[in-house]
Amino acid sequence: MDRAFVAPEPVVPRDPVALVTGAAKRVGRAIALELARAGHDIAIHHRASPEEAQSVAAQIRALGRRAVVVHADLVVAGEVAALFRSVDEAFGRLDVLVNCAAVFRRTPVESLTEADFDFHVAANLKAPYLCCLEAAPRMKASGRGCIVNITDVAAERPFRSHVPYCVSKAGLDMLTKSLAKALAPAITVNAVAPGTVLFRDDESDDDRRRVIARIPQGRIGTPEDIARAVRFLVESPHVTGVTLAVDGGRSLD
Ligand SMILES: NC(=O)c1ccc[n+]([C@@H]2O[C@H](COP(=O)([O-])OP(=O)(O)OC[C@H]3O[C@@H](n4cnc5c(N)ncnc54)[C@H](OP(=O)(O)O)[C@@H]3O)[C@@H](O)[C@H]2O)c1
């Protein structure tokens, strides 16, 4: 007898908790606010931006959600473990982890060093790896969970003067796919790959015009563009192992 397959309804917890790393400013801040608007209580992680983190917490509380500020230097394994214990103490559960904290330093190929490699790989690949290891058993305990890693379109289309950065983000892309397979079905693991979202202070007007000229949509992204993509992945329990480019079409070239 044929029996139609009935997909299970996703079980959405009543007060889901999201931890966003690097959430005091810029893109991480926008993600924390968007997930709060989507009904999550938020652990706002920072390393050296306590005032900005408290200001994000105040905005989240004004939205009617709970918020705590948690601190860690994510390149120190012991601090990562302590960070997750702080989330346990504050909320007693973890449903969503967004690995957004990162470093991005210009490293011309003529003067590349071992330290440049270690600096980028420690913050952009090893730290998210350690955070995933902490998050996974907590999510499994509650039956489901969702991890979103923030990578970069440069993981596939490298920048000439940022070799260690591009390598670290390409590694994070493979961490995403590997863990999506390894942690299924309880936990989804996806990535959002931004194109340029915010210019750095050291980029000239000419540099900025050149970047914009290569984007079919005719503008750089906004932190909110990235935040909406993260929310989509968090709310899509049958999507796992994908990297969603949010780059105005830049990577079509
Ligand atoms: N901005 C863009 O145009 C763009 C483009 C492509 C991809 N991305 C990616 O999108 C994400 C967000 O970008 P963004 O420009 O908003 O990032 P960002 O400002 O460069 O960095 C975000 C936060 O990362 C934290 N951080 C750095 N090293 C850390 C460490 N060792 N331990 C703990 N926290 C650390 C910092 O927190 P504290 O301030 O608290 O120290 C910083 O505020 C990143 O993953 C980035 O690679 C951004």
| pLDDT greater than 70 at residue 190 | yes
Is residue 67 lining ligand 1, measured as CB closer than 6 Å? no
Is residue 188 lining ligand 1, measured as CB closer than 6 Å? no
Distance CA(149)–CA(240), nearest Å, equals: 12
Predicted confidence at residue 202, as pLDDT, reads 85
Give the mean pLDDT of 159-164.
Answer: 96
Within the chain, what is the greatest distance between any pair of CA atoms?
Answer: 69
Give the mean pLDDT of 206-222.
Answer: 96
- Is residue 175 within 8 Å of 132, Cβ to Cβ? yes
Distance CA(130)–CA(2), nearest Å, equals: 45
- Mutate which of 197, 199, 226 for ligand 1? The one with the most ligand atoms within 8 Å of its CB, which is 197
Q: How confident is the model at residue 29 (pLDDT cuts 50, 70, 90)?
A: very high
- Is residue 20 within 8 Å of 74, Cβ to Cβ? no
CA 37 → CA 32, 40, 230, 231, 237, distances in Å?
A: 9, 7, 13, 10, 19
Atom of ligand 1 nearest to the CA of 73: 32
Which residue's CA is minimally distant from atom 26 of ligand 1? Answer: 101
Atom of ligand 1 nearest to the CA of 25: 43
Residue 103 Cα, ligand 1 centroid: separation in angstroms? Answer: 6
Domains of the chain, earliest start first:
17-248 (3.40.50.720)
Residue 223 Cα, ligand 1 centroid: separation in angstroms? Answer: 12
Predicted confidence at residue 1, as pLDDT, reads 42
Q: How confident is the model at residue 203 (pLDDT cuts 50, 70, 90)?
A: confident
Task: Kindly report the pTM of this predicted structure.
Answer: 0.96
Residue 3 Cα, ligand 1 centroid: separation in angstroms? Answer: 49
Predicted confidence at residue 253, as pLDDT, reads 84
Atom of ligand 1 nearest to the CA of 221: 3
Residue 253 Cα, ligand 1 centroid: separation in angstroms? Answer: 26
Is residue 225 lining ligand 1, measured as CB closer than 6 Å? no
Name the percent of the chain lying above pLDDT 70. Answer: 95
**Mind listing the pLDDT tens digit for each residue in 99-153?**
999 999 999 999 999 999 999 999 999 999 999 999 999 999 989 999 999 999 9
